[in-house]
Chain A
């Protein structure tokens, strides 16, 4: 026997209690990680280089206000822009969905949009050409295609929830490899046609020549359209998404606050039970003291035990969350509300830090008692 195995034997002395302690730590840390993941998903913008290069131009009034199509000629003359395309959020209800369709449909100009969707893989040259050539066709993200079991050549019907027209589109290609492999892209021309050519688009989507150029481009655009009948707000895709996030307002704070409450409740309950486990062995600690164990050595025993239990709980809870969210199809489970549900190293770090704090705190009370009470008192207390 050695000290580590003595600690292990102590920790497992009451197997049921050790199990319950570990499980309650695990459960709470699982919850903590889940909340963090959900919060990140709701609030964290896409962070790739492309999201700083791509720019979205919307009406200054709001996203819901359309822009005049004639702005395209002006945009084409602004320097620093590699590509620009109409980009209208159709927001239709896919046939068969009850209330809510989780993937977006965007009307674009396929020719002009090519540089913007260059990271999309899986669509052949022929399919791209076919898409460009056929006004009523579309390309679809693989996630959505998989979810509804769709393949190239299938037709999709939509009811317009924002635009007063319905759509029927043929799938020309299925892509993957972009930041959001759910979306559907179809022809702005087709949308214009169905609406009777109103001469408007939802937003403009454009690609800046370089990251350095991007802020200059947004500036130029904003200035160019200032004091016209349709003033615009141009911003990088990243800033655009961040702006959307800020609209969640107090809900963000609420989820953050609840995470804190969860952690606090966990600390409270676990510290209490784990200290209890040690408090019950008070007399034994007194005997160890009589045999010649010093305070320092007893502290190590106590700390190692509660620390070990807490860490084990973290391993199961946070590790479990990591394994689970890496292996399940979260998109399917939440009908597309959550996309990635990724557990980041920071979250695991946080969970383990909380566990470490827990281990420390549960050891503190018994340690203070051990330090304070003499052997004689210790032997008496539980006699």
Chain B
């Protein structure tokens, strides 16, 4: 015969002071866990959100990121006319040779400088990335020293408002538009004309190629062909694959989240155990009475476990709720691949919420298990004698 749920519930409410402390303690543990994981999830999400599954990305073999890759102009002229590459109505191959440059620019709040990733692109580059849209202003015009900055970066860097201008390299650029990358990695970039980018920063090499193959099969062939050519030393892969692998920034955050969660939960288990031992101690006589009335040991254990589990679950829900407050909140750090400022959002995913709740429940159960077993082991007579 099981004890009613109300029994567990009311007992928790009677000790409301320590109940609140335990619930809040567990809530904070879950909060830290979910928040950090949501940060990692946000970084991963912005990577996995990026790119078109049809496109092929080409970088130098050995480079961890586009921004650290160099490809000669000669390579472009050779690859350009590969028959696997799709062509537009004018018969031009759909290939975008991009130039990526890191520019150290002052922050809006005056707290020093940070690197911003500038991408020099051509008209093809814009066509190949339809997920990038202008949210305000207009696209840049070639030859006019104009630049389009990410709307999200604009909030973080000085002189990024439309109409303002900033100097980098040998040129002064005027901001003519804000771009919106739809939660992709492009939200952390500024775009300008590729040729202008080459001349301003005295570069004679491209960073990466983005290619649209004529069809699926051609894509596979193109990858094989580029990789096999010893002259190029290039790495070709699907654009989405490339971005999906850009997770170096998320890894240490995930690790930190896990580490903190484990350490804090050990502390929380100790505290929960303390609370439940005290609860059992104070109820010795009551538990004895229940046993006399005919409740089995396992009913007593179950009721206590339920009590601990319930408390923890409430804590878990609360922790997730606090973390959810930050859901969608935009934040930034230095990307480990690009060494530039990457902007992303906290993402409290359903998976994280479930993980947080399960985590809390386990903390509650472990914290309650030993006190519950102790309660069940108390001889009935002793329980009744206890004052």
Q: Does A78 contact B (CB under 8 A)?
A: no
Q: Does A8 contact B (CB under 8 A)?
A: no
Give chain A interface residues in 227-285, CB to chain B under 8 Å. Answer: 229-230, 233, 242-243, 246-251, 254-255, 258, 261-262, 264-266, 268-273, 275-277, 280
Chain A nearest CB from B99 CB (Å) reads 12
A273→B275 contact, CB < 8 A: yes
For this complex, 13 residue pairs linking A to B, each with C-beta atoms less than 8 Å apart, are A62-B115, A164-B62, A166-B62, A243-B113, A246-B113, A249-B114, A250-B331, A265-B25, A265-B268, A269-B267, A272-B17, A273-B21, A273-B274
A91 to B17, alpha carbons, bound, how many Å? 56
Q: Does B373 contact A (CB under 8 A)?
A: no
Question: Of B21, B102, B202, B339, which one neighbours A272 at CB under 8 angstroms?
Answer: B21
A249→B278 contact, CB < 8 A: no
B263→A30 contact, CB < 8 A: yes
Beyond A60-B104, A249-B332, is A20–B273 a contact (Cβ under 8 Å)? Answer: yes
A247→B60 contact, CB < 8 A: no
A249 to B108, alpha carbons, bound, how many Å? 12
Beyond A61-B169, A264-B28, is A229–B263 a contact (Cβ under 8 Å)? Answer: no
Q: Does B163 contact A (CB under 8 A)?
A: no
A129 to B36, alpha carbons, bound, how many Å? 51
Residues of A in contact with B (beta carbons under 8 Å apart): 16-17, 20-21, 23-24, 27-28, 30-31, 34-35, 60-65, 91, 93, 99-100, 159-162, 164, 166, 229-230, 233, 242-243, 246-251, 254-255, 258, 261-262, 264-266, 268-273, 275-277, 280, 337
A115 to B202, alpha carbons, bound, how many Å? 33
Q: Which one, B63-71, B143-151, B174-182, B347-355, is touching chain A?
A: B63-71
A61 to B32, alpha carbons, bound, how many Å? 37
A24→B267 contact, CB < 8 A: yes
A83 to B252, alpha carbons, bound, how many Å? 38
B32→A258 contact, CB < 8 A: yes
B266→A27 contact, CB < 8 A: yes
List, in ascending order, chain B residues with CB within 8 A of A166's CB. 62
B112→A246 contact, CB < 8 A: yes
A281 to B305, alpha carbons, bound, how many Å? 26
B201→A246 contact, CB < 8 A: no
A27 to B266, alpha carbons, bound, how many Å? 7
B104→A62 contact, CB < 8 A: yes
B334→A248 contact, CB < 8 A: yes
Chain A nearest CB from B92 CB (Å) reads 28
Q: Does B122 contact A (CB under 8 A)?
A: no
Query: Which residue of the partner chain B has the closest CB to A65?
Result: B201
A255-B256, A273-B278, A280-B282 known; 14 other A-B pairs, CB under 8 Å? A17-B277, A23-B267, A27-B266, A62-B103, A65-B101, A91-B68, A247-B115, A249-B332, A250-B333, A251-B253, A258-B32, A272-B18, A273-B274, A277-B278
B264→A17 contact, CB < 8 A: no
Query: Which residue of the partner chain A has the closest CB to B266?
Result: A27
Question: Of B31, B260, B278, which one neighbours A276 at CB under 8 angstroms?
Answer: B278
Question: Of B36, B111, B168, which one neighbours A246 at CB under 8 angstroms?
Answer: B111
Q: Does B368 contact A (CB under 8 A)?
A: no
Q: Does B39 contact A (CB under 8 A)?
A: yes
A271→B267 contact, CB < 8 A: no
B334→A249 contact, CB < 8 A: yes
A254 to B253, alpha carbons, bound, how many Å? 11
Chain B nearest CB from A287 CB (Å) reads 15
Query: Which residue of the partner chain A has the closest CB to B115?
Result: A62
A21 to B277, alpha carbons, bound, how many Å? 12
A5 to B39, alpha carbons, bound, how many Å? 50
Question: Of A35, A99, A162, which one neighbours B68 at CB under 8 angstroms?
Answer: A162
Number of A-B contacts defined by CB within 8 Å: 167
B115→A160 contact, CB < 8 A: no
A262→B102 contact, CB < 8 A: no
Q: Which of A21, A100, A261 has the most CB of B within 10 A?
A: A261
Query: Interface size of B by Cβ–Cβ distance < 8 Å?
Result: 60
Beyond A250-B332, A276-B18, A276-B278, is A63–B62 a contact (Cβ under 8 Å)? Answer: no
Q: Does B284 contact A (CB under 8 A)?
A: no
Chain A nearest CB from B336 CB (Å) reads 9
Give chain B interface residues in 60-105, CB to chain A under 8 Å. Answer: 60, 62-64, 67-68, 70, 101-104
List, in ascending order, chain A residues with CB within 8 A of B168's CB. 60-61
A258 to B261, alpha carbons, bound, how many Å? 11
A166 to B62, alpha carbons, bound, how many Å? 9
A229→B334 contact, CB < 8 A: no
Interface string of B140-173 (1 = CB under 8 A from A): 0000000000000000000000000000111000
A63 to B334, alpha carbons, bound, how many Å? 14
A272 to B266, alpha carbons, bound, how many Å? 17
Interface string of B1-43 (1 = CB under 8 A from A): 0000000000000000110111011001101100110010000
A65→B63 contact, CB < 8 A: no
A276 to B191, alpha carbons, bound, how many Å? 62
A335 to B146, alpha carbons, bound, how many Å? 44
Question: Of A16, A34, A251, A273, which one neighbours B333 at CB under 8 angstroms?
Answer: A251
> Sorted from nearest, which 6 A-B pairs have the closest CB atoms?
A272-B21, A265-B28, A24-B270, A269-B25, A269-B271, A27-B267
Question: Of A27, A62, A162, A242, which one neighbours B263 at CB under 8 angstroms?
Answer: A27
Q: Does B193 contact A (CB under 8 A)?
A: no
A290 to B267, alpha carbons, bound, how many Å? 38
Q: Does B233 contact A (CB under 8 A)?
A: yes
A35 to B68, alpha carbons, bound, how many Å? 32
B103→A61 contact, CB < 8 A: yes
List, in ascending order, chain A residues with CB within 8 A of B263's CB. 27, 30-31, 34
B334→A254 contact, CB < 8 A: no
B275→A272 contact, CB < 8 A: yes
List, in ascending order, chain B residues with CB within 8 A of A161's CB. 62-64, 68
A91 to B113, alpha carbons, bound, how many Å? 22
Interface string of B222-251 (1 = CB under 8 A from A): 000000000001000000000000001000
A91 to B275, alpha carbons, bound, how many Å? 53
List, in ascending order, chain A residues with CB within 8 A of B270's CB. 20-21, 23-24, 27
A28 to B264, alpha carbons, bound, how many Å? 7
A275 to B274, alpha carbons, bound, how many Å? 12
Query: Which residue of the partner chain B has the closest CB to A198?
Result: B204
List, in ascending order, chain A residues with CB within 8 A of B32's CB. 258, 261-262
A268 to B267, alpha carbons, bound, how many Å? 12
A242 to B60, alpha carbons, bound, how many Å? 31
List, in ascending order, chain A residues with CB within 8 A of B111's CB. 246
